[in-house]
A and B are shown apart, each in its own frame.
Chain A
Amino acid sequence: MNLISRFILELQGIGMLLGRMLRGLRKQPRYFGEIVMQLDRIGVGSLGIVILTGFFTGGVLILQAYPTLRYYGAQSSAGQGVATTLIRELGPVLTALMVAGRVGSSISAELGSMVVSQQIDAMRALGTSPVRKLVSPRVIALILALPLLTVASDIFGLLGGGIIANQIYGLDASVYTSSVRAGVDIDDLIGGIIKPLIFGLIIGIISCYKGLSTTGGTVGVGRSTTNAVVLASISVIIADFFLSKMLQGLFNSTLF
């Protein structure tokens, strides 16, 4: 099978899984407890790495941008640059990539192991829909958790940038804070929340699809885990481009 046919088949499989998930949401039983458990695993569990990523990304942005800004005498705008970059792009994308690596791989490996050990078949034999029991709670938890994780990443990114600007370059904290305020408007915040909602859906559905379509025993589990992370990460970056373009049109702004 050539690459294009495989791509179309994968897309069809992911689309069908999404369709079955959406149809299943209208039916009983609904697994609210499972959603809360997944929120804990996905959201709380990823908080540490997301905060660290955000903090050091904010720091490195200042580290790289400040000397250039100082050269042009625009060092008071340092906070604005960090805020704009983080909230519009780096916050949502880096958080999504970190979550795709940590959670996407975990979901795919877990579901893949369940497939090869016939636990998915057992679940169906016991009268439970694996889509409703396993897929929906994970995807919903990702959709809910990713915007919150992105906000955490943004906050700690701004904090990291502020600390580096103050401690290394001696920029006054109040100058940095007012510069951050000047750099962010409501459109940025809305856009920064819309993106992770879509990224959560993408990571969730791809990871679940890859896990549930595992074949070839334990070797297959490894393969589907790798594929899930790669495909989810690429999809996030591609989706980010189109979302940015869409948001630009939506908010009638050239800044997005």
Chain B
Amino acid sequence: MPFDENISFDNGIGGGQEVPSNGTSSVARVVPAIEFRDVKLAFDEQVVLDGISFTVRRGETKIVLGGSGSGKSTIINLILGLIKPDAGNILVDGEDITGFDDQELMRVRRKIGMVFQEGALFDSLSVYENVAYRLAEEGVDEDEIEHEVRRMLQFVGLEDAIEKMPVELSGGMRRRVGIARALVGNPSIVLFDEPTAGLDPPTARTICELAIKLRDLEDVSSIFVTHEMNNLDYLSSEYAIVDEKGYVHFESEGDRLCLVNTGVIMLRDGCIIFSGKDEQLRAANDPYIHRFIRGK
């Protein structure tokens, strides 16, 4: 599928740099997209996050690994302000959102796209209405909404499903519509909450490709929560480029190029036990990390 020229991009991996899609200045680029400073959270006696600190730079994808109940999805809920931390600070685009009320959080959420585990599409709305939701709420002109919806559905390869209802879609299609919905309004940050869970390998690969395209062609900062090592392999070793004809290709990093815009953190029992690059993760001596990577 040719890459839509209307979708501006700044890949940050060498070649083809254009004006950043979200119009951030060079000074603003220094400010991290997301920053956690010693964030703590407990539900009753159970500690969920115990002093988490990390940074997601602009245009960077941070892969958050960890077993079930390690606090991965909680990080995403904290960024969206759906829950509040007990201690510490959370910064989005340099703005400390920790003490924000609902009204202020609504403003912050408008620059964040969220992809939920099962898609979380609104059952009573069609694919078109789901993807158009954010713009319709903002009172955008109907023609503009339709153009944007078609553009986003084209980006996820689901233009033909525009009139369908969510119940008619397969699991993978629901996730892709969820991604299209999250991307409407060109958010500078996209959060993925286990978007490939329960999907077959080719569909999971498609979802990862979309995340790679967002990172490399759209200058989107993202957090990709997963516990599947395949996702880590794709996201940390492949990049997207656009050829002269406008077609998107995926290439593996190697002699020609090394990916610097993808980092990994691993959580265990609410603590970060690893932070770095995927190569460092694979070389780590921690027995838990070994078992997590190899499954035994």
B-binding residues in A (CB < 8 A):
27, 29, 113, 117-119, 121-129
- Bound-state Cα–Cα, A127 to B116, Å: 15
User: Complex: how many Å from CA A118 to CA B116?
Assistant: 8
Kindly specify which of B10-18, B54-62, B105-113, B269-277 makes contact with the partner chain.
Answer: B105-113
Is the Cβ of B109 less than 8 Å from the Cβ of A127? yes
User: A117-B120, A118-B118 are contacts. A125–B139 as well, Cβ < 8 Å?
Assistant: no
Interface members, chain B 211-250 (any A CB < 8 Å)? none
Nearest residue, chain A, Cβ from B108: A127
CA of A121 to CA of B181 in the docked complex: distance in angstroms? 14
Q: For the complex, is B144 an interface residue (Cβ under 8 Å from A)? A: no
Task: Check if A124 sits within 8 Å of B109, measured CB to CB.
Answer: yes
Contacts of B107 in A (CB 8 A): 127
CA distance A50 to B118 in the complex (A): 39
Query: Which A-B residue pairs are the 7 nearest by beta carbons?
Result: A118-B120, A125-B114, A122-B120, A127-B110, A127-B109, A126-B134, A118-B116
Nearest to A126 among chain B residues (CB) is: B134
B residues within 8 A CB of A127?
106-107, 109-110, 134, 137-138
Residue of B at shortest CB range from A27? B103
Do residues B139 and A119 form an inter-chain contact, with CB atoms below 8 A?
Answer: no
Contact of A129 with B106 in the complex, beta carbons under 8 Å? yes
- The proximity string for B residues 123-159 relative to A, scoring 1 for CB distances below 8 Å and 0 otherwise, is 1000000000110011100000000000000000000
Q: Which of A29, A113, A122, A129 contacts B114 (CB 8 A)?
A: A122
B40 to chain A, nearest CB (A): 22
> What is the predominant secondary structure among interface residues of chain B facing chain A?
mixed
Alpha-carbon gap, A113 to B139, bound state (A): 27
B109 touches A126 (CB 8 A): yes
Residue numbers in A under 8 Å from B82 (CB-CB):
121, 124-125
Interface centre among A29, A122, A129 (most CB of B within 10 A): A122
Number of A-B contacts (CB under 8 A): 54
B80 interface hit (Cβ, 8 Å) = yes
Q: Say whether B102 faces chain A, with CB atoms less than 8 Å apart.
A: yes
Interface residues of B in 76-107 (CB under 8 A from A): 77, 80, 82, 102-103, 106-107
A131 → B minimal CB distance (Å): 9
Looking at the complex, which one of B80, B114, B137, B181 makes contact with A128 (CB distance below 8 Å)?
Answer: B137
A31 nearest in chain B by CB position = B137
Q: A119 to B137, Cβ gap below 8 A? A: no
Give the chain B neighbours of A29 by CB distance below 8 A.
137, 139
In the complex, chain A residues whose CB is within 8 Å of the CB of B102: 129
Contacts of A128 in B (CB 8 A): 106, 133, 137
User: Do the beta carbons of B137 and A125 come within 8 Å of each other?
Assistant: no
Task: List chain A residues, Cβ under 8 A from B120.
Answer: 117-119, 121-122
Residue B203, interface by CB 8 Å: no
- Give the residues in chain A near B103, CB-CB below 8 Å: 27
CA distance A28 to B102 in the complex (A): 14
Query: Which A residues touch B116, using CB under 8 A?
Result: 118, 121-122
Q: Please name all residues of chain B whose beta carbon is closer than 8 Å to the beta carbon of A124 when the two chains form the complex.
A: 80, 82, 109
Identify the closest chain A residue to B81 (Cβ): A124
Give the distance in Å from the alpha carbon of A117 to the alpha carbon of B166 in the complex: 13
Contacts of B70 on A, CB cut-off 8 Å? none
- Is B122 interfacial (CB 8 A cutoff)? yes
CB-nearest residue of chain B relative to A28? B139
- Tell me whether A125 and B112 are in contact (CB under 8 A): yes
Are B117 and A118 interface neighbours, CB within 8 A?
yes
> Can you give 10 contacting A-B residue pairs, CB < 8 Å?
A113-B123, A119-B121, A119-B123, A121-B116, A121-B120, A122-B120, A125-B82, A127-B110, A127-B134, A128-B133
Cα-based distance from A129 to B102 in the complex (angstroms)? 8
Other A-B contacts than A121-B80, A126-B133, 18 sampled, CB-CB below 8 A, are A29-B139, A118-B116, A118-B118, A119-B120, A119-B122, A119-B123, A121-B77, A122-B116, A122-B120, A122-B122, A122-B181, A123-B122, A125-B114, A126-B181, A127-B109, A127-B110, A127-B137, A127-B138
Give complex CA distance A127, B103 in Å.
9
- Distance A29 CA – B136 CA, assembled complex (angstroms): 11
Q: Which residues of A contact B110 (CB under 8 A)?
A: 127
Residues of A within 8 A of B77 (CB): 121
Residues of B within 8 A of A121 (CB): 77, 80, 82, 114, 116, 120
